[in-house]
Structure 1
């Protein structure tokens, strides 16, 4: 596969994800695309990112999530030196989390 073909394939994947219409479609797509272990790993990394951005310390995150210190460190590096994907999504995720908490109250 050429570099251009690889870029087109990855762009096609990301553009296709953007066509998902709702939460159920998103869940179904990712369940088909990923293994259970891959989904759990992504969910865990995202939870770690939320907790780090909330100011929680490594040991508390490790205890709460079961994530390894290597995973926590990797997520922390991405938060500070990554492509800014977490910075774009985390404020939105925190707003969703707040809405969920209000619904549960």
Structure 2
């Protein structure tokens, strides 16, 4: 997915809404209303897969610890190598916050 495909009014509204949340509780509130539990878990799982890939974990370790399919792991790996560096930026910021 290319970034320019996301530059629609609705996407900017969503991203602005997320950036304007003040704390973790507000994030939970929005995402519980916005997404199904499965969708939120899937997004969180992808970020964890990215973190583990960046740490050098094997597919089998990642699959065992996260329950992610090899297809999901491959997709995240592709994004880490050929994407827009969104995962890397998010992981860097999380590391800086010690999360």
Corresponding residue for residue 88 of structure 1? 89
Structure 2: 5+ residue stretches without partners: 1-6
Corresponding residue for residue 41 of structure 2? 40
TM-score by length of 2: 0.87
Counterparts of 2:39 and 2:32 in 1: how far apart (Å)? 10
Q: Does 1:64 align with 2:62?
A: no
Structure 1: 5+ residue stretches without partners: 1-5, 101-105
Counterparts of 2:44 and 2:93 in 1: how far apart (Å)? 16
Corresponding residue for residue 52 of structure 1? 53
Counterparts of 1:49 and 1:95 in 2: how far apart (Å)? 16
Corresponding residue for residue 103 of structure 1? none
Give the paired residue count: 93
Whichever of the two has the greater Rg, that structure is 1
TM-score by length of 1: 0.82
Corresponding residue for residue 76 of structure 2? 75
* Alpha-carbon shift at residue 39 of structure 1 (Å): 0.6
Query: Which 4+ runs in 1 deviate beyond 4 A?
Result: none
* Alpha-carbon shift at residue 87 of structure 1 (Å): 1.4
Counterparts of 1:95 and 1:59 in 2: how far apart (Å)? 28
Counterparts of 2:85 and 2:33 in 1: how far apart (Å)? 27
Report which of the two has the higher share of helix: 1
Corresponding residue for residue 3 of structure 2? none
